[in-house]
Chains A and B, each alone.
Chain A
Amino acid sequence: MAELKTFKGGIHPPYNKELASGKAIKAAPIPSEVVIHLQQHIGAPCEPLVKEGDRVEVGQKIGEAQAFVSAPVHASVSGVVKSITEVPNFTGAKVKSVVITPDASQPEFQKKPGKDLESLTAEEIREIAREAGLVGMGGAAFPTHVKITPPSDKPIDTVIINACECEPFLTCDHRLLLERTDDLIAGARLLKAAVGAGKVIFGVEANKMDAVDALRSRASSYPDVEVEVLEVKYPEGAEKMLIFALTGRKVPPGKLPSEVGCLVQNVGTAVALYEAAAWGKPLYERVVTVTGPGVREPANLLARIGTPIATLLEACGGLVGNPVKLIMGGPMTGWAQPDASAPVVKGTSGVVVLTSDVVDLGEESECVRCGKCVEVCPMFLSPNFIVQSVKRGQWDKAEMWGALDCFECGCCSYECPAYIPHVQYVRKAKAEIAALKKK
């Protein structure tokens, strides 16, 4: 077999996908209260369109901003607005949120009369994406309508659907690939139409060959759709790495994929765009993988936005063993939670519970210059020297060693024999450098 496409660097953590990859998507229970943050995306926060005591219907727009870089939010349940208040999100930051008490029975979603997807113009597709509140569902949550409005001087020729799902444990994209293959391909072709690209490439890691087969059989009638198998390696699904692996193009430091004629979108986003365009369904629910050695019955749950993760954990039979890490997102880039109160947002791909037998909380010691961080860094940076510069408060040097180019994949910390939390130092460097540049 020929060598699979990939990038240089990266790591091979234990994937543990088998815990949840065979579990078909099922609906999560409706909680007694949903908390919908008015900012779930990169960009301007929304202003509430409802007030305390208002009745809302599922799918109703309840928050919007005038700014271009923003995404509206929608009620994920039918019910009554209990309050509009500040609630901590999964990062611990307090965000203005609409708290809704759901009705005892929830209506089935009524698909709007079907549109002819092939006849939609680019402008119409962007408007659909914006109205539906679409954001990148891989985790970064960048508003989709902005991403599919590339600068006019940078033509896009290739749309890449990121179906790597390179984060260990997570399987929500894998399930969408298997269960929603046709909708996904249709959504991907809408993205292609929106940016006027010539083709769509699906990049799938080789640990999902069933998904590759499904895509290939369904996509065979579309000459503009390609399916590529990629090496199983973290972070294969990082935007720049994926573009390089599939096209050989390198996005320059500080630039966007449009620089090299590419648009990358996540599997979940493509499916959501299809639902918005074909059914008139806004983004008010998503698939969340609830898994890990600390979860009794791992599952892929279709959860309403605003569902507290405690509800999801209960739906999976609760916790087992000695849970020490409750992670919102994947184990490489996700956020550790102090409790299970944080609500699901549009970018929540998973809830991973790790137990004491798999978590290694070693104590940070001095860097011994082994060079392993340099070897695994997919951006060819020098994480050790960034850390050294941060420790000395030399922000210009931190930038020189590449702090601003780091996308925080965490490969360096994963490999580091001295347990150095490079990502934490990099975040500090980014904040300090940004503050200095403002002056």
Chain B
Amino acid sequence: MAMENLVVTPPPHLKSKEQTALAMRDVLIALAPITIAALVAFTYNALFNIAVCVGSAMFFEWAVRKARKKKVTLSDGSAAVTGLLLALLLPAKIHWLNMIIASFVAVVIVKELMGGLGRNIFNPALFGFVFILIGSGFLASWTGHLGFLPGGFDGVQAATPLAYIKHGLEGPHPSYAALLFANYGGAISEVGCFWILLGGAYLIYRKVINWVIPVSILLTVFILGYIVGSDGLYQILAGGVMLGAFFMATDWVTSPMYRWGQAVFGLIIGICVVLIRVYGAPAGAVAYSILIGNAFVPLLDKVFKPKRFGEVVAA
């Protein structure tokens, strides 16, 4: 009998189809609608940004793994995801050097030097973004972009939708419908959160993420938005909340393991978003909030460790 190929490994001997690389591929698929919308709205600017961010993220990962004599793990797709998310967080007009710096910080410092995929505490793309947001003053180009969609919001001269929240501006601020489908000022991903919802639904359907974190964030921002006297619906449709809720806060590595921890994680992020937007500087509010949330993850994992089956809660 042909038994020369027998392999002896510990059980189980069956394996589901789950693979880290396949999950990353699902994230890329889920980002396709918003990426296409961004490309339609910002054409070559968006294309250039995405190419620079994805290319540099992959290059840095390759280089740092080589330099540290570790297995190159580009095939797990996480560098590509980091690069694409970073590009989507940035405005269309931004100096390429900023993108390279952000990419370096994200991949080399926040991810690899923390121990590589799985060990980083902070979301790499967000950290890279915040680093240049604070450090390099690219805000100068924040409000302007080349809008190609007819009938859209006048992006070149106008304030971002978030500025309306902050300053209570009157006048032609974008309608809910515009926030859902059309383009307006801000990052290249702020071209209609419908496209992000579409991707988020796909990730939940594919069980890459669960609904707890996004729902917790959106509900908190929505309700707290009204409580502080702002327009809660506008709050969740404008800016980066939707992208953050579905694609950033749900990052496996930097979010809590347990359902209740995830709910509280979303609550923390939602509260921070509203407070920073209303009482602080709106640009980057979601990024700051998620990074703050990331810092709570080890604590949330401790506090919400589930009771073992049959374990009696000590009175």
Contacts and interface: CB of A to CB of B under 8 A. Distances in A.
Interface of A: 11, 13-14, 168, 240, 244, 250-253, 255, 310, 313-314, 318-319, 322-327, 331-340, 352, 354, 356, 358-362, 365-372, 374, 378-382, 384-385, 401-402, 405, 408, 410-411, 413-419, 421, 423-424, 427
Contacts of B118: 366-369, 418
B167 interface: no
Contacts of A340: 1, 3
Interface size grouping (class) on chain B: 35 or more
B11, B19, B20, B22, most chain A CB atoms within 10 A: B11
Decide if the interface of chain A is mainly helix, strand, loop or mixed.
Answer: loop
B18 A417 contact: yes
A356 B5 contact: yes
A366 B119 contact: yes
Interface stretch (B83-91, B101-109, B252-260): B252-260
Contact of A402 (B9, B117, B252, B308): B308
Decide if the interface of chain B is mainly helix, strand, loop or mixed.
Answer: loop
Interface string B107-136: 000000000111100000000000000000
B6, B9, B255, most chain A CB atoms within 10 A: B6
20 contacts: A310-B1, A313-B1, A323-B5, A324-B6, A332-B12, A333-B12, A334-B13, A336-B10, A338-B8, A359-B7, A362-B15, A368-B20, A368-B118, A371-B257, A401-B305, A410-B12, A414-B16, A415-B16, A417-B23, A418-B20
Given A319-B3, A382-B257, A421-B9, A366 B117 contact: yes
Contact of A14 (B6, B14, B22, B73): B14
Interface of B: 1-3, 5-16, 18-20, 22-23, 73, 76, 116-119, 252-253, 255, 257-258, 301, 305-312
A13 B1 contact: no
A426 to B, nearest CB: 10
B253, B311, B312, most chain A CB atoms within 10 A: B311
B253 A369 contact: yes
B16 A11 contact: yes
A361 B12 contact: no
B9, B19, B20, B309, most chain A CB atoms within 10 A: B309
A360 B13 CA distance: 8
Contacts of A313: 1
Contacts of A385: 301
B305 A423 contact: no
B194 to A, nearest CB: 27
A330 to B, nearest CB: 9
